[in-house]
Amino acid sequence: MRIGVVTFPGSCDDRDAAYALELVGAEPVRLWHGDADLAGVEAVVLPGGFTYGDYLRTGALARFSPVMGAVAGFAGRGGPVLGVCNGFQVLCEAGLLPGALTRNVGLRFVHRRQHVRVEAVGAWTAGIAPGTILDIPVKHGEGRYVHPDPDGLAAAGQVLARYCHADGTVDDGANPNGSVAGIAGVTNAGGNVAGLMPHPEHAVDPLLGSTDGARLLRAALARITAPA
């Protein structure tokens, strides 16, 4: 399966994302932010980083890159799209995901291993049962997810994951950035576009402390390639 990995000026996790996708059996296709088409890929990943230096506001400039027009069209046709960290921010700025990401509570950059609880089945979590606890690191300064109706999002099945303790408990102590309702990831209404603040591409090898990121990507790959 050919999965596009978009590099924007300032992306820094694009190579890791490509490596992780190759590790789980996909064929990563490197895409440039100036590309006007997606080279026939079957899914797209917007990786983490600091697009355009995070000037103005995170993701606010990247949304105008030519490739984002192609990504929006692809997503509108039901194509699977995943944004990780900065990619999540770009998808919110582009209007492909609900809500927004703002500065962390306490205004401190956070970098740590983090447990998250899978909340819903979607293109990017299929094969992993809701309630499953994953150990996936976070690293961001603007990861506080905000939305005016988090309960409505959850009722619609659009809350992908929440920050939690190792036993699955969701509370402020497990929330690294002050996100509303502990939300770590969301999807669009169709479930094919997802944003996740933790980094699955950094949890793909035992040497990294966890392989839960590979587990997530492998499950997503199986779902996307499954016969309709």
Give the active site residues.
85, 199, 201
Taking the C-alpha atoms of residue 151 and residue 105, their distance in angstroms, rounded to an integer, is 21
Taking the C-alpha atoms of residue 131 and residue 151, their distance in angstroms, rounded to an integer, is 17
Residue among 89, 81, 106, 79 nearest 48 (CA): 89
Give the distance, in angstroms, between the CA of residue 56 and the centroid of all CA atoms in the same chain.
Answer: 21
Instruction: Name the β-bridge partners of 3.
Output: 28, 43
Pairing of strands 193-196, 133-135: unpaired
Residue among 152, 101, 108, 128 nearest 215 (CA): 128
Tokens 């490596």 belong to 19
Residue among 62, 46, 66, 48 nearest 4 (CA): 46
